[in-house]
Structure 1
């Protein structure tokens, strides 16, 4: 991309916004060097990076990138033998720490998948030993600490002792000779402690004069008594500086030894900062990641100009490259044509730079080898060129370079000259660029170009909407509808006499009237379509709300039903328990009566009546079932499901041992039980030996099992419904639905269906020999 197009489309302003999002100078350097790429693989790689960073910001809200500095110049100086100052050393330690914090932050994230970031942070070398060396010598303010070496600690202790001695000596002067001093204070000149002595008492104090005030009334004198002490103090400070230089030299040598991992850490941290700067910019714009293609296709829903405030900009839909390759936009001045032009161009440059664009999700943009724009007033006084000449010079240059991988943006094509000639020239230029296969968006005032889209294949008209009622543009872009002149309507609204307007209309040719009528018809059709769309959307929304309400009520009904079932079961359980307790009382009394020889017949009858009344009252259906169970219990056989009364557990008879004993399978246990301790539950009906059963009234067969594996959810539910109906017609007592284990979606669907079906008495998971949890057995 040439620099001129970056300037015309204001790409530099996007870079400035991006620069503000960078957390370190490393990231700012990369934002300043950013340029759109023409390699689709590289661009897709950039977008993948930006998307990962956006995912982290969406989940965590931030990224720890503080305390990272561009330490490359410092590293280079240590390599050539230079010595770093304390702050430079501290910046290196801070950068090492920042890298470790970032590495830990990314490594600790469980969701989502972050392959790019995890690969980058895996390249960060902790260098904890170097960080500890620096931090043990230099504090957070860049001051070399006493503990940096034993020698430095000794020297500084000596310095503090000497300073205390000198101050004590001079403060004795401030107390005893305060009248001779301008101020009763101890001060410093030329790094030596002195007293501010009045000029007239110079001889009385004596010593070395180091400075004087601007008026000459005050001399700063170092008394002879402290000269030697000051000399010792100066010597100690020289020793301190020498030791500090030695410590910094040693730290610099350690830094030089780790130059390679340090340099690589800086590169990685700079790249990560740059990734998150792009993601932060996208978040601030409420932008989306575009899908890139090399087919020249642009599709953007509700796209906004990136440099206009969101509460001021009007979002528009843009589509070009499939059904048509050129758009000709007409409409009034200040209607938003140029903004639309710049928005498409700038979003294209942003997308080719790995930046997200301000549009809805699902947007798609093309990778262009070249982007050209002829926008704005290009009049050049220096070159003595008119506006038309300047535009034409630019267009000539564009035509030399345009091809099928080019996006061309023309603003007011052919303007600045005779309207008839300008319109003819504009159509010829458009024909030439269209023929070369470029993607074109052009704006114009010429009415001749309104019909251009109808006479050229691959070209479509568009316009910016104008509200005649308010006499203001709405800035909405209307694809497929050419702009029409609103001069008569505007004039009428402003109060121009109708006779004048009618006279003006009589001067317009028949063709122009036809075009205007056609455009008016298109606008009316568009408004009708928009109204219908809004109505349909409203109905859809109401239907969705109704569906949600019905689902909510159904859920409440199901919950209520379950609650009633639960209460009924609890009530029945209490009744049975009460009956058992009463029966136990009756049995106990009967046992006591057994040995009573004087027991009368009517007493036995009364006891039996009490026992019968203690039994839970069953419905007719339950009484009938109980009677059947008692009858069938007289003739138990292998395969019968029974209840083992001694354990209160259900099981099945494996074999008959003798007339009074049976082997029963209860769970994983095999138990020999007496016939009196067994209660008959049910007996499996013998299945027809043929593998298929013929459904009455049908010419096809029904298996005793249905295999749903591999079926889609909706298809599986339909198949189960039909299969259950057929199985019921066939008279099967039970069937097996094979759904596999998988995610459990099909199993849940089958079991939910079984709960709702009125003819399905029970369902269970398959046994060990029936397919386990991959099969559901339905009982009819």
Structure 2
């Protein structure tokens, strides 16, 4: 999320709401969907009409693509990240969805090169070694050596001379080494290397009797690693020829991730996703700000250029202002919210500005009034914006404020701004 957007959502108390939405993403995403929002809304609406499973958790392919472009060898974990997305799109394509989603899935044609790679990985991403005869034989040798090591350890545990030095009769694994937990003086009956010590003064010892078997195991595992590396090289070479498709499917998955997260989040809370209308009218029916617990729904029609909100302290003026701006911000970025979508209409705004906090800065020697003037000067730089100002007269004399800010508001309206203001001043 960009700093400016994070600042706006922070002022409007929407960050926890966005955090809840982010849990539905498959991979980290910027909250804003790049491109035509009208087009995105049509696809979100089409997806919402279908039943589908959430995609698997994934990572972006930027690092993987850079590695392939440099003719590097991918790890199996990276290869499986690609396969997860390919498998998911293949599943969606095979569903034969109607309409927009079906047409979209038909444009994602999986190259045959993925087929050979795909058959070597199970659903959890584990490489299926049994598909290769040599790797299968190596796996059997590894199993046999490990069995031999385990049996040797059991024989040691039942050695009568060692019994007096054993703390327990378990086989411990310290730094991937099979060890016995023994008391001091063990060296009289057991030859081995001390791997670690306990706080109570006991020793984890790797018996020398296992050295030969462990050396055999290391040698066989090196053979296995070399064979697996050859597969990784072969797969990476094949994937390097599919770089354009990998870049394409990465972008398409990002786009789908934005859609599915919004749809599933909205379903989970019975929220609605609003598309901004072409005008600047704001009509909210039964809107509830997500930061409030057991909120009283807000219904308001704001079709003019200026809305003044006044009332007693703690009467809800600021929250009403935040609710109006929040609804517009969530509609702008197609974020699910609680309201009656059939009776609501939210306009389209190029920018949304919230002037809410006290701008006083002692370090920069800026008073509240001077800070507010700086904020208003910034607002004059934009057009077609929705502006919310809380306590517009902050830092000024009441009579002076009414005259001053009446002029400021008139000038902003002339520039096509739509403004929501809270104030205590009846003269304003």
Q: TM-score range by the shorter chain?
A: 0.7 to 0.9
After superposition, give the CA deviation of every residue in 1:401-435 in whole Å (9 maximum; x if it has no partner).
Answer: 254x2323232222433222222223222333334
Distance 1:441 1:348, change over 3 A: same
After superposition, give the CA deviation of every residue in 1:346-404 in whole Å (9 maximum; x if it has no partner).
Answer: 22222222345543315333323343332243333323333333223322332x3254x
Is 1:343 the counterpart of 2:323? The answer is yes
Distance 1:307 1:290, change over 3 A: farther
Q: Is the 8 A contact 1:192 1:230 kept in 2?
A: no
Task: Please report how far the alpha carbon of residue 140 of structure 1 lies from its aligned counterpart in structure 2 after TM superposition.
Answer: 4.7
Task: Please report how far the alpha carbon of residue 274 of structure 1 lies from its aligned counterpart in structure 2 after TM superposition.
Answer: 0.4
SS in 2 for 1:158: helix
Distance 1:343 1:178, change over 3 A: same
Distance 1:420 1:147, change over 3 A: same
Higher relative contact order (CA 8 A, sep 6+): 2
SS in 1 for 2:427: helix
Q: What TM-score comes out, normalization by structure 1 length?
A: 0.47
Within-5 A mapping of 1:300-339 = 300-309=284-293, 311-320=294-303, 324-339=304-319
Task: Please report how far the alpha carbon of residue 271 of structure 1 lies from its aligned counterpart in structure 2 after TM superposition.
Answer: 0.8
Determine the structure 2 residue equivalent to 1:29: 29
Q: Using the alignment, how far apart are the partners of 2:405 and 2:275 within structure 1?
A: 32
SS in 1 for 2:41: helix
Task: Please report how far the alpha carbon of residue 249 of structure 1 lies from its aligned counterpart in structure 2 after TM superposition.
Answer: 2.5
Among candidates 386, 392, 398, match of residue 373 of structure 2? 392
Among candidates 18, 35, 44, match of residue 15 of structure 1? 18
Distance 1:103 1:81, change over 3 A: same
Determine the structure 1 residue equivalent to 2:254: 270
Task: Please report how far the alpha carbon of residue 145 of structure 1 lies from its aligned counterpart in structure 2 after TM superposition.
Answer: 3.9
Distance 1:157 1:6, change over 3 A: closer
SS in 2 for 1:29: coil
After superposition, give the CA deviation of every residue in 1:500-540 in whole Å (9 maximum; x if it has no partner).
Answer: xxxxxxxxxxxxxxxxxxxxxxxxxxxxxxxxxxxxxxxxx
Task: Please report how far the alpha carbon of residue 218 of structure 1 lies from its aligned counterpart in structure 2 after TM superposition.
Answer: 7.9
Distance 1:433 1:81, change over 3 A: closer
SS in 2 for 1:401: coil
Within-5 A mapping of 1:166-177 = 175=158, 177=159
After superposition, give the CA deviation of every residue in 1:101-158 in whole Å (9 maximum; x if it has no partner).
Answer: 22233x2x45xxx32x23321232335763553443x445554444142222222333
Among candidates 340, 346, 350, match of residue 369 of structure 1? 350
Q: Is the 8 A contact 1:196 1:221 kept in 2?
A: no
Within-5 A mapping of 1:381-420 = 381-398=362-379, 400-403=380-383, 405-420=384-399
Q: Is the 8 A contact 1:44 1:292 kept in 2?
A: no
Q: Is the 8 A contact 1:44 1:354 kept in 2?
A: no
Task: Please report how far the alpha carbon of residue 210 of structure 1 lies from its aligned counterpart in structure 2 after TM superposition.
Answer: 2.9
Task: Please report how far the alpha carbon of residue 260 of structure 1 lies from its aligned counterpart in structure 2 after TM superposition.
Answer: 2.8
Q: Using the alignment, how far apart are the partners of 2:129 and 2:395 within structure 1?
A: 77
Q: Is the 8 A contact 2:352 2:387 kept in 1?
A: yes
Q: Is the 8 A contact 1:291 1:362 kept in 2?
A: no
Is 1:121 the counterpart of 2:102? The answer is no
Is 1:103 the counterpart of 2:93? The answer is yes
Task: Please report how far the alpha carbon of residue 195 of structure 1 lies from its aligned counterpart in structure 2 after TM superposition.
Answer: 7.3
Determine the structure 2 residue equivalent to 1:258: 242
Determine the structure 2 residue equivalent to 1:74: 64
Q: Using the alignment, how far apart are the partners of 1:236 and 1:144 within structure 2?
A: 18
Determine the structure 2 residue equivalent to 1:636: none
Q: Using the alignment, how far apart are the partners of 1:434 and 1:169 within structure 2?
A: 87
Task: Please report how far the alpha carbon of residue 45 of structure 1 lies from its aligned counterpart in structure 2 after TM superposition.
Answer: 1.9
Within-5 A mapping of 1:608-757 = none
Determine the structure 1 residue equivalent to 2:82: 92
Task: Please report how far the alpha carbon of residue 267 of structure 1 lies from its aligned counterpart in structure 2 after TM superposition.
Answer: 1.9
Determine the structure 2 residue equivalent to 1:247: 231
Task: Please report how far the alpha carbon of residue 277 of structure 1 lies from its aligned counterpart in structure 2 after TM superposition.
Answer: 1.9
Among candidates 250, 262, 271, match of residue 286 of structure 1? 271
Among candidates 222, 245, 250, match of residue 208 of structure 2? 222
After superposition, give the CA deviation of every residue in 1:52-85 in whole Å (9 maximum; x if it has no partner).
Answer: 23333xxx3x544236543443344244333333
Q: Is the 8 A contact 1:93 1:131 kept in 2?
A: no
Determine the structure 2 residue equivalent to 1:580: none
Distance 1:204 1:334, change over 3 A: closer
Q: What TM-score comes out, normalization by structure 2 length?
A: 0.81
Q: Is the 8 A contact 1:414 1:425 kept in 2?
A: no
Q: How many pairs align?
A: 417
Q: Using the alignment, how far apart are the partners of 1:189 and 1:420 within structure 2?
A: 78
**Where do 5+ consecutive residues of structure 1 fail to align?**
450-780
- Is the radius of gyration larger for structure 1 or structure 2? 1
Distance 1:74 1:205, change over 3 A: same
After superposition, give the CA deviation of every residue in 1:484-503 in whole Å (9 maximum; x if it has no partner).
Answer: xxxxxxxxxxxxxxxxxxxx
Determine the structure 2 residue equivalent to 1:178: 160
